[in-house]
A and B are shown apart, each in its own frame.
Chain A
Amino acid sequence: MQRLGPIALIFHALFVAFIMAPLLMVIAVSFTDKGYLSLPTDGLSLRWFYAILDNPDFISAFWVSVWLGLLSASIAVAMAVPAALAMARRKFPGRDAISAFLLSPLMIPHLVLGVAFLQFYSKIGMGGSFAGLTAAHVVLVMPYALRLALASATGLPQDAEQAAMTLGASKFTVFRRITLPLILPGVAGGWILSFITSFDELTMSVFVASPATQTLPVRMYHHIAQTIDPLIASVSTVLIVLTFLLMLVLDRLYGLDKIFVGKG
């Protein structure tokens, strides 16, 4: 293999700088000691991180997002795992159509999902409810849960399961003791990716959430639409750090490159 020349390395450095620049900017601004937007030129201060504690709406929005992510990722995985096992192992009539249907949210702009849920929930009297928001997020993250479950269930050898069945294990025991542990890395990767997707989602949630069920991105968006101040930068910095930690887990568990191939 050919080694990289200096031009390629300079390009690479510029590219990485471009990718990092806005994130570093957010982090830098969040440490300012001034009452307004500025870089922390006269020393670092944590005042804007303490300021988050005085803004309960950000904290409650954070918890809404956490619960929403936990619930929607878990429900999506619970429905995706049996579907993935069926699809990976059997060629049954309607399989391709079902797979396309369950993956279809990837093709639908979030805006379209948002307006569709807004109208649907206001018609059936669930407008702004947390249950409605959760159901909408399940639809949204299902493709991610399904794709990673499918990837690990496809080509999975069945001899261990057959051995267990021969030895008298019940269907559920086989699933719990043999199948699930085998596909667990993919299922866990899908769960984390679903959680993050739900946690970060703005466009659809902005239509579905009510003031009482505002998620963190929706709260942040409305804040930014009004004013951009160091407070929003410190909230963002906390998010960057938390995401970074989750990212390391995901990379260990599954490999970041594998997760993103074909995401979109």
Chain B
Amino acid sequence: MASSANKAAWAMTAPGVIFFAALLGAPMIMTFLLSLHAYDFNAGVLPDWTLANYADVLGDSYFHKIFLRTFGLAALVTVICVLIGAPEAYVLSRLQNPWKSIFLLVVLGPLLISVVVRTLGWALFFGGNGILTMVAQGLGFSDEPVSLMFTFTGMTIALVHVLVPFMVISVWASLQKIDPQSEDAAWTLGASKLTVLRRITLPQAMPGILSGSIIVFALTASAFATPAIIGGRRMKVVATAAYDEYLSTLNWPLGATIAVLLLVANVVIIVSYNKLVERRFAKVFE
């Protein structure tokens, strides 16, 4: 039975829910339906239902390569972000104020600056007449211009830069919850620095490392701006491939199929990873 209090609560959420149903629900369902139609270059979108697009994408070695590259890139970026982001979060948590607040601002601030601007910075480094070439030539490594534009390495470096603040903040959040006395206790009992780090600090930072990983992985897998600018047409990832299907080839149904697959992969990975993490670390999250 709907009490008047429940009705009031529903009424308060209604504007958002109705807005979302019309402007998120409807477009998403339409995109899914579009992916179930074939496309003909003369006739446009054909009326009959088919799974041909899914068969095309899942059976084509060209798309295999793009999906593999995307998820390989996401895995690599995630690992590097763990390796440099987690230690940085640890260092940040040990700094004294005011340094702590200042460097927290320095590390997190770039999240608010447009990805286009941050990627542009790397493009300036990587371009054929950029700093990289000057350094390499100055040190005598190479007489040719050195360029990381349109390379996997270049994309990796730029994406690590774009996403590592998410790792730092998420590890930072779990380090904040640690009782410093647990480390002091370990020292008092004669544990070495390394043992304390390995047996006390790291296990307690683990939930942050795991939730940071899932954020970084998901955002890398669906990243568009950085791969488009640094990777270009030569290093396509899923997002840039879908962009080309929509705006260059104009094969919308195929683009919709790629988008649906990206969404499904993203949701499956996030949800299953969350389940896993929650089960393993149920105690830590309480």
Residues of A within 8 A of B (CB): 1-4, 8-9, 11-12, 15-16, 18-26, 29, 37, 39, 78-80, 82-83, 85-87, 90, 92-95, 98, 101-102, 104-105, 107-113, 115-120, 123, 135-136, 138-139, 142, 146, 196, 199-200, 202-203, 206-207, 216-217, 220-221, 224-225, 228, 232-233, 236, 239-240, 243-244, 246-247, 250-251, 256-257, 260-264
Contacts and interface: CB of A to CB of B under 8 A. Distances in A.
A146 to B, nearest CB: 8
A102 B20 contact: yes
B31 A115 contact: yes
Interface stretch (B47-55, B125-133, B275-283): B125-133
B115 A200 contact: yes
Contact of A115 (B12, B164, B255): B255
A17 to B, nearest CB: 11
B24 interface: yes
Contact of B116 (A4, A123, A221): A221
Given A224-B116, A257-B169, A203 B224 contact: yes
A79 B117 contact: no
B185 interface: no
A200 B118 contact: no
Given A25-B121, A102-B17, A116-B31, A202 B114 contact: yes
Contact of A260 (B26, B34, B108): B108
Nearest to A90: B9
A111 B239 contact: yes
Contacts of A19: 106-107, 110, 161, 164-165
Interface string B168-185: 011011000000100110
Contacts of A21: 121, 125
Nearest to B31: A116
Interface size class of B (residues with CB under 8 A): 35 or more
Interface string B231-247: 00000000100110011
Interface in B247-283: 247, 252, 255-256, 259-260, 262-263, 266-267, 270
| Residue among B28, B91, B112, B228 with the highest chain A CB neighbour number at 10 A | B112
A16 B215 contact: no
Interface in B73-119: 84, 87-88, 90-92, 94-95, 103-119
Chain B contact residues, majority secondary structure: helix
B59 interface: no
Contacts of B12: 82-83, 85-86
B193 A2 contact: yes
Nearest to A9: B91
A164 B259 CA distance: 52
Contacts of B103: 12, 16
B27 A116 contact: yes
Given A98-B13, A119-B27, A139-B20, 6 more contacts: A25-B125, A86-B13, A102-B20, A109-B266, A111-B259, A260-B166
27 contacts: A2-B94, A8-B91, A18-B161, A23-B110, A25-B131, A79-B19, A82-B12, A90-B9, A93-B2, A102-B16, A107-B266, A110-B224, A120-B26, A120-B27, A200-B113, A200-B116, A202-B114, A203-B239, A206-B243, A207-B243, A216-B114, A217-B114, A217-B116, A221-B116, A256-B109, A260-B166, A263-B166
B31 A239 contact: no
B263 A264 contact: no
B71 to A, nearest CB: 13
Given A92-B5, A236-B117, A116 B30 contact: yes
Contacts of A11: 87-88, 91
Contact of A138 (B23, B34, B196, B270): B23
Contacts of B224: 110-111, 202-203, 206
Nearest to B260: A112
Interface string B1-36: 010011011101101110110011011101100100
A37 B34 contact: no
A109 B122 contact: no
A228 B123 contact: yes
B276 to A, nearest CB: 17
A178 B215 CA distance: 37
B219 interface: yes
Contacts of B2: 93
B20 A261 contact: no
B225 interface: yes
Contacts of B20: 101-102, 139, 142
Contact of B112 (A3, A111, A142, A247): A247
B27 A108 contact: no
B120 interface: yes
Interface in B147-195: 158, 161, 164-166, 169-170, 172-173, 180, 183-184, 187, 193
Nearest to A224: B229
* Shortest 7 CB-CB contacts between residues of A and residues of B: A22-B121, A109-B222, A264-B215, A120-B27, A116-B27, A86-B12, A82-B12
